[in-house]
A = this chain, B = another copy of it.
Amino acid sequence: MTETSSASSADGQLWAVVPAGGAGTRLWPLSRAGSPKFLHDLTGSGRTLLQATLDRLEPLVGERVLVVTGVAHQDAVRRQLHALPGDRVVAEPSPRDSMAAIGLAAAMVERTDPDALIGSFAADHVIADPEAFRACVEEAAEVARTGLLVTIGIEPARPSTGFGYIHLGERLPGFPTACAVEEFVEKPDSARARAYVDSGEYRWNAGMFVARAGVLLDLLAVEHPDLASGLRAIAADPSRLEEIWPGLTKIAIDHAVAEPAAAAGKVAVVPGGFGWEDIGDFAALADLLPDAAPGLKVLGDADVVLASGSTGLVVPGSGRTVAVLGLDDVVVVDTGDALLVTTTAHAQDVKSIVEALKSSGRSALT
């Protein structure tokens, strides 16, 4: 891997690391193990979530991007990002959680430019205001140049129990908005989520981290020295990937690095308000889309949807005409080989369908 654009500066340039994983089982049958949600256009923009993620990052990093994905998806990722040099797509031989994925990319960047910064941005997030997002990332990069691990703390849109939270600490002098991180807290119950949001002192943790590549790996080396050295060994000699990878510790970046570093006062947060959504389920997807008719959202060709006295979400994905009559908050997802009918209130339970399909020997549909 070589950095072909402007030579790396002593300040260290920013690289984007884009983990592209996760099955998105709550979005079945749209999202499948073989075709996960980042490969789909879920916003009707004409770009898949992965493509939109790279579009959003391009003004910040140009081609300094590493997409880390599973071997099963590397061809699809390369097809969608055909303008990107081939060595910018890194294939994990097997899933080893977010620390290994982001850490491997960090180690590769570290070898290219020891002063470089990396920022991790998942391939399946939706951001309403890309300019505000980029301003946040730029501030995070400035803070990260001081040697801190920096996260971006999303302004909570609601008291969600589906995300971890970041407790804001003291303001950091010399930066427009950055604060210290008091602590990372796990997904709360609903009373606690309400209290967090009401206090104004908490932000959602969307897994966005910015740091010097070396800082991230050195922090990792404190708690998990074998994992850090394994990742650096692969970056030094990529032919050892298959040998080393299966033995790496499976751990999320939050537990491996962010929480211990926060406890040690080494993490900052830049609060961000740019309309972030991770489209965790069809209720979230419905919230995101504009009305095709009052209360009715359509992802796809609205001309083949015939709805009467109905609200909710219709995804006409097979070309067939979909008629919906007299149902409120319904979710109808029509694909070539499978059809889902449920309600937004049951959106979180959709993963149970995927489990039932697997346990009944129909994994081909998952």
Please list the residues of chain A having a beta carbon within 8 angstroms of any beta carbon in chain B.
28-29, 306, 308-309, 320-327, 330, 332, 334-343, 345-346, 349-350, 352-353, 356-357, 360, 362, 365
A76 to nearest B CB, angstroms?
A: 23
CA distance A320 to B345 in the complex (A): 24
Contact B308 A325 (CB under 8 A): no
CA distance A342 to B335 in the complex (A): 18
Given contacts A352-B308, A356-B308, A362-B321, contact A326 B339 (CB under 8 A): no
CA distance A349 to B325 in the complex (A): 8
Contact B341 A323 (CB under 8 A): yes
Residue pairs across A and B with Cβ atoms less than 8 A apart, 17 shown, are A29-B323, A306-B357, A308-B356, A320-B337, A321-B338, A321-B357, A321-B362, A321-B365, A322-B338, A323-B341, A323-B353, A324-B340, A325-B340, A325-B353, A327-B341, A330-B341, A332-B339
Nearest first, the 10 closest Cβ-Cβ pairs linking A and B are A326-B346, A325-B342, A321-B338, A323-B353, A324-B341, A322-B339, A323-B340, A325-B346, A332-B341, A320-B337
Copies of this chain, tallied across the complex: 2
A312 to nearest B CB, angstroms?
A: 10
Which B residues are in CB contact (< 8 Å) with A338?
320-323
Contact B337 A321 (CB under 8 A): yes
Which B residues are in CB contact (< 8 Å) with A327?
327, 330, 341-343
Which B residues are in CB contact (< 8 Å) with A308?
349, 352-353, 356
Tell which of B330, B334, B342 touches A339, judged by Cβ atoms closer than 8 Å. Answer: B334
Which B residues are in CB contact (< 8 Å) with A330?
327, 341
A62 to nearest B CB, angstroms?
A: 43
Which B residues are in CB contact (< 8 Å) with A360?
306
Contact A350 B325 (CB under 8 A): yes
Contact B343 A306 (CB under 8 A): no
Q: Which residue of B lies closest to A308 (CB)?
A: B352
Contact A326 B306 (CB under 8 A): no
Q: Which residue of B lies closest to A330 (CB)?
A: B341
A301 to nearest B CB, angstroms?
A: 13
Contact A343 B321 (CB under 8 A): no
A352 to nearest B CB, angstroms?
A: 6
